[in-house]
Structures are given as structure tokens and as C-alpha cells.
Amino acid sequence: AQRVTQPEKLLSVFKGAPVELKCNYSYSGSPELFWYVQYSRQRLQLLLRHISRESIKGFTADLNKGETSFHLKKPFAQVEDSAMYYCALNNNAGNMLTFGGGTRLMVKP
Amino acid sequence: DAGVIQSPRHEVTEMGQEVTLRCKPISGHNSLFWYRQTMMRGLELLIYFNNNVPIDDSGMPEDRFSAKMPNASFSTLKIQPSEPRDSAVYFCASTPSGQGFSPLHFGNGTRLTVT
């Protein structure tokens, strides 16, 4: 069975500090992983996917198959990064995503 | 494009009442998903339709929950009878399938409170 775990429900940092939102997964096949973000009063939307290996809004995430992790990182957090972040796994059966429990990031000025 | 449209935005009902949540996917998207969001469990997939056919409903909590997609532009999630533990935000999402990768497009959600 596939599972996505985000161990932190809340992460609070000051502006300019580095931030790392943890995500671990369990899946027997070759996973495709994503980070989705929900800003206040906005819809949940895709932030980035591991296949594209790109940086979005300064965020990056590297898939580590050895550690089964897909942590989301940003070297200098901004206040506008405050949001709910969900890690998600696609088991390649259509577009069915399994989401983690979510981490609320609060960036204080 | 208005995106995925869900109604109502908020629903408050008493225990035992029937609740119907509605979703209009983005035109041309043939995959539709219902998710439930709670503080304790995060986002849980309830059911997934492809071309109006339910593909996976293993996430539906119990028989009190049912979902339909009578046509490509409309889906409902019904809870009967509702219970306080059903209180959550229910999201609908859609995506085109069979065209390579496309992210899920979420609606604004329906916040359900069962008293």
C-alpha cells in the first residue's frame, strides 16, 4: 500500500530563515511525487513535481529513493510563503494522488 | 475559465439530515476526484471517476456516502444520514486524462458542519 507522511503539522520560521518541509513515502513501485500548496483563501494548486526538477518560487525538492523522501526546501523563506503544503504521490494508475497530512508553514516577519 | 465549481461553499446541517455536495469539473476534463480534508487526516481520496464511471471508491468511508456522475459536467457526493464526524472540507478536483501529465485542478471546497 502507498502512504505519504508529513511529520510536521506546523512549521514556524522567521522571514529569511531556511525552511524544509519533510515528506516521506512508502510505495513499492517507481513513484511520481508532487508538492501542492494552498494559500489563504485560494485553491489547492500544484507547486512542483519531482520529474521536472525545477525551482518554483524558490522552492526545490529532490527525490531520495534511498531514504524514500521528497523534502521541500527553500533557502530564504518569505512571508508570502505562508500556506498549507501537501506532499502527494502518484501511483501511476491514472492521476490518482495520495496526499500526506499536510504541513502548515508560517513565516513571521 | 471559472475552474472547478463546487456548491455550496458552506453547509451546516443537523445530524441525521441528508447532505448533497455538488461539483462541476472543468470542461473537457474527464477525470474527477472527491477528497475530504480534516485536521487529523489531511486530504483523503474518497472516490475517483473516469469518463463518468467510478473507478475507485475504496476511500468512501461507509455506506452513508455515495457519489454519482450522471454526465461529464456534473457530480454529486451525498451523505445520508449525516453525522458530526462527517464535518470537514470536501474538495472536488478534475484533470484531463490520457494526455500526459496534467495537475489536478481543485475547486474551492465545501465546508460541511454537522451539528
Q: What is the pLDDT along chain A (109 residues), one digit of tens a residue?
A: 788 999 999 999 999 999 999 999 998 777 889 999 999 988 999 999 888 878 889 999 989 989 999 999 999 999 999 999 999 998 766 667 889 999 999 999 9
Cα angle A86-B112-B72, degrees, rounded to a multiple of 5: 75
Q: Where are the alpha helices (DSSP H) in chain A?
A: none
pLDDT tens, residue by residue, B54-110: 998 988 988 999 999 999 999 999 999 999 999 999 999 999 876 667 789 999 999
Cell of A39: 494559500
Share of chain B above pLDDT 90, in %: 78
User: What pLDDT score was predicted for residue B40?
Assistant: 83
d(C-alpha B58, C-alpha B48), whole Å: 9
What distance in Å separates residue A73's CA from the closest CA in chain B?
A: 21
What distance in Å separates residue B60's CA from the closest CA in chain A?
A: 14
* DSSP assignment letter at A46: E
**B24-45: average pLDDT:** 92
Which chain B residues touch A43 with a CB distance below 8 Å?
3-4, 105-108
Choose among B96, B109, B93, B84: nearest CA to B33: B93
Which chain B residues touch A100 with a CB distance below 8 Å?
42
B102 Cβ neighbours under 8 A, 6+ residues apart: A95, B95, B96
CB contact under 8 A, A100 and B42: yes
User: What pLDDT score was predicted for residue A1?
Assistant: 72
Which residue does chain A place closest to B50, by CA atoms?
A94
Q: Which of A44, A49, A51 to mutate to test the interface with B (most CBs of B within 10 A)?
A: A44
User: What pLDDT score was predicted for residue A30?
Assistant: 79
Q: Is A92 on the interface with B (CB under 8 A)?
A: no
User: What pLDDT score was predicted for residue B99?
Assistant: 61
User: What pLDDT score was predicted for residue A92?
Assistant: 64
Average pLDDT value over all residues in chain B: 92
